[in-house]
Amino acid sequence: MLYLSRKLYFSAAHFYKVADWTEEENQKAFGPCSHSNGHGHDYALEVMVKGKLKQDSGIVVNITDIDQVVKAFVHSNLDGKFLNKENGYFAKNIPTTENIITYLWNAFEGMMENCTLHKIRLRENDFLYAEKEDSSMVRLTRKYHFSTAHRLHSSQLTAEENTAIFGKCNNQFGHGHNYYLEVTVQGKVDPVTGMIANIGDMDRIIDQMVLQKFDHKHLNLDTQEFADLNPTSENVAIVTWNLLSDELPNLFKIGLYETEKNYFEYFGPDGE
């Protein structure tokens, strides 16, 4: 089985509002997204399909065939639209990122010839995206940034072994990175709010449990979590999971960018 993806872009406006709620209730749940005049995004949509290689052509499916299906649907139903007012589905369903990706999945599934829809990802901005595969679950990823210093040094190794393994990262005074943390939750979309998690609640929890502990700190010297634990990015990802798992019961994955070249994922002790 081979997998291939195609990316396209569209722009749309929307607002989040439950008609039966008061303004105060909508503001509490959705914040500025509840403003009735709306706001907008430049969305990036990635559509991944899977299929078997055709020996005669050397391809799975002609990428232009995917373009025709996806672009035609997006252009007609989403691009340049005010979703709440110009799309019948979103007149009844709040156009959250989770609901939009569910709408797209249901539209595209079965429309592709000679291949099968595998996964779609919808990026609302650089710090928020949703994903869906062939299940009732939707994943939502929120991205955060923190700056910190650390020294890669294990008390279980000799000085020579630490130097050999970690090189300049074993510098006794430490060094630093701009970390980017991705926190992914997974669940069924709430039929009323259109969300699987409240972004405001996620932001508050992650700020309190992770960012305030690590941002502008020296992990070895300023944190309890790494006082006796080597602050490799592998360990930072695991510690972050442990800090958040009780607060975010639908936590699916921790992703950590140490640099643009180094990325780490952790799915929990029972994960993949």
- Give the angle 16-21-26 at the CA atoms, nearest 5°: 40
Q: Which two tokens stand for residue 71?
A: 């672009």
Looking at 39, 145, 175, 216, which residue is catalytic? Answer: 216
Q: Would you call 260 a catalytic residue per the annotation? A: no
Residues 6+ apart with CB under 8 A from 154: 161, 162, 230
Nearest to 252 by CA among 123, 137, 127, 105: 137
Q: 97-108 vs 63-77: helix axis angle to the nearest 10? A: 130
β-strand pairing of 2-14 with 81-82: parallel
Selected catalytic residue, list 86, 124, 169, 247: 169
Active site residue 234: no
Length of the chain: 272
The active-site residue, picked from 98, 115, 150, 258, is 258
Residues 6 or more apart from 227 whose CB is under 8 A from it?
A: 220
Q: Determine whether 175 is an active site residue.
A: no
Greatest C-alpha distance within the chain: 67
What does each C-alpha distance from 19 to 22, 84, 92, 109 come to in angstroms? 8, 12, 10, 30
Active site residues: 169, 216, 258
